[in-house]
Amino acid sequence: MTLYELAPTPSARRVNIFLAELGVSVDRVNVDIRGGENLTDEFKAISINGRIPVLKLDDGQTLCESVAICRYFDELLKPVNSLFGNSPIEKANVEMWQRICELQGLFIGFQAFRNITKIYEDRENCIEAWGEESKQRLIDFLPTLETQLSQHEYIAGNTFSIADITAYVMVSFIQHLDITPAPDQLHLQRWQQQIEQRVAVQSVNAGTNT
Ligand SMILES: N[C@@H](CCC(=O)N[C@@H](CS)C(=O)NCC(=O)O)C(=O)O
Q: Tens digits of per-residue pLDDT, 61-82?
A: 999 999 999 999 999 999 999 9
- Biggest alpha carbon–alpha carbon distance for the chain: 51
Decide: 52 in ligand 1 pocket, CB within 6 A.
Answer: yes
CATH class of 2-79: alpha beta
Pair 26, 3: CB distance under 8 Å: yes
Q: What is the pLDDT of residue 179?
A: 98
**For residue 6, how many other CB atoms are within 10 A of its CB?**
19
Decide: 66 in ligand 1 pocket, CB within 6 A.
Answer: yes
Q: What is the pLDDT of residue 38?
A: 97
Q: What is the pLDDT of residue 172?
A: 97
CATH class of 88-198: mainly alpha
Pair 23, 47: CB distance under 8 Å: no
Decide: 10 in ligand 1 pocket, CB within 6 A.
Answer: yes
Pair 26, 18: CB distance under 8 Å: no
Tell me how far apart the alpha carbons of residues 118 and 113 are, in angstroms, rounded to a whole number: 8
Domain limits, the chain:
2-79, 88-198
12 CA to middle of ligand 1, Å? 8
Question: Which residues in the chain come in under a pLDDT of 50?
Answer: none
Q: What is the pLDDT of residue 41?
A: 96
Decide: 34 in ligand 1 pocket, CB within 6 A.
Answer: no
Query: Which residue's CA is minimally distant from atom 6 of ligand 1?
Result: 51
Q: Identity (one letter) of the amino acid at 202?
A: Q
11 CA to middle of ligand 1, Å? 6
Give the pLDDT confidence of 82-118 residue by residue, as tens digits: 999 999 999 999 999 999 999 999 999 999 999 999 9
pTM (two decimals): 0.98
Can you list the alpha helix ranges (DSSP code H) found in 102-198? 107-117, 128-151, 162-173, 186-196
6 CA to middle of ligand 1, Å? 10
Question: Residue 31 CA: which ligand 1 atom is closest?
Answer: 12
Pair 160, 149: CB distance under 8 Å: no
151 CA to middle of ligand 1, Å? 32
